[in-house]
Amino acid sequence: MNFYIVIPAHNEETFLAKTLESLVTQSLLPKQVVVVNDNSTDGTQQIIDSFAHQYPFVSGITITSEGIHAPGSKVINAFYKGFDGLDGRFDVICKFDADLIFPKNYLKTLAEIFRENEKVGMVGGFCYIQKNGQWELENLTNKDHIRGALKAYRKECFHQIEGLKKAMGWDTVDELLAQFHGWRIYTDTSLKVKHLKATGATYTQGSGQKQGQAFKKMRYGFWLTLIASIKLAVKKGSFGYFWNCLKGYFGKIDDYLVTEEEGKFIRKLRWRKIRNKLFRQS
């Protein structure tokens, strides 16, 4: 099974070498690893060049994007700069972050899962962050969600959902659209990935508003947006984040990320999961 990996990277000299080292020592090696150096001003390019010199399946490209923080769109634009240069002969396409350390069997385990069930469209493990010398689960989402840092898509699924949306919410809408098309999302608790930089470390104050806009673009509707905003605010420990989510939801948007039919499916799916969770707890 051919794994192609695209890694967007901006000023990641502190972590990138560890990420690449964990990928070039996999028990199942990837066929291609492309690191997209997005306007870095540190030693990121030197690390890319070093690994590309040692490993023929590692390469890099350099792009210059705007020097603004744009959650979602910036990283996916960088991803596509790398993806568009691939030859298309992959079975699984991965979008990985540049601050992860993968266990040695990560890709091999993903391949086994994809082979065992042809309806699995996406697979991922879980991110762990270091606290007080211990690696603990970075508990920001439900256990059935694959973090945006380590997405892996079966080729057919990737094409059917029409790739990744260049907007905040891309790493949620991809799973929702995959399920709309009948694909299964698979998470494996045995795959513990070390996340070297805590999520949200570079978020701006406007990220809450952008998240609210993303809920609207995914056609959540008010009540689902309210519930999701409360949940995120609690996890982040910020009432301001909740308020900004609502401000974003009630603001104007340029376009929706999904069709009306897809939006209807998404709302039904979300409400069903909420009911199932409530019944399990009762």
DSSP string, 201-218: TT--TTHHHHHHHHHHHT
CA torsion 270→272→276→279, rounded to 10°?
110
Cβ(152)–Cβ(122) below 8 Å: yes
Q: What is the pTM of this model?
A: 0.91
pLDDT at 202: 47
Cβ(227)–Cβ(275) below 8 Å: no
**Which secondary-structure segment (H or E) carries 135?**
strand 134-137
What distances in angstroms separate CA 55 from CA 12, 21, 27, 240, one per listed residue?
A: 19, 11, 15, 47
Task: Summarize the confidence of residues 242-258 as an average pLDDT.
Answer: 94
**What is the chain's alpha carbon radius of gyration, rounded to the nearest angstrom?**
19
Task: Summarize the confidence of residues 87-109 as an average pLDDT.
Answer: 97
**Residues 6 or more apart from 225 whose CB is under 8 A from it?**
212, 215, 216, 245, 246, 249
Cβ(185)–Cβ(122) below 8 Å: yes
pLDDT tens readout for residues 182-220: 999 999 999 999 999 876 544 455 788 999 999 999 999
Cβ(98)–Cβ(9) below 8 Å: yes
pLDDT tens readout for residues 138-189: 877 778 899 999 999 999 999 999 999 999 999 999 999 999 999 999 999 9
Work out the mean pLDDT of the chain and round it to a whole number.
Answer: 92
Token pair recorded at residue 252: 């104007």
**Residues 6 or more apart from 10 whose CB is under 8 A from it?**
37, 38, 39, 40, 44, 78
| The residue to which tokens 């809450």 are assigned | 208
Cβ(20)–Cβ(13) below 8 Å: no
pLDDT at 69 over 80: no
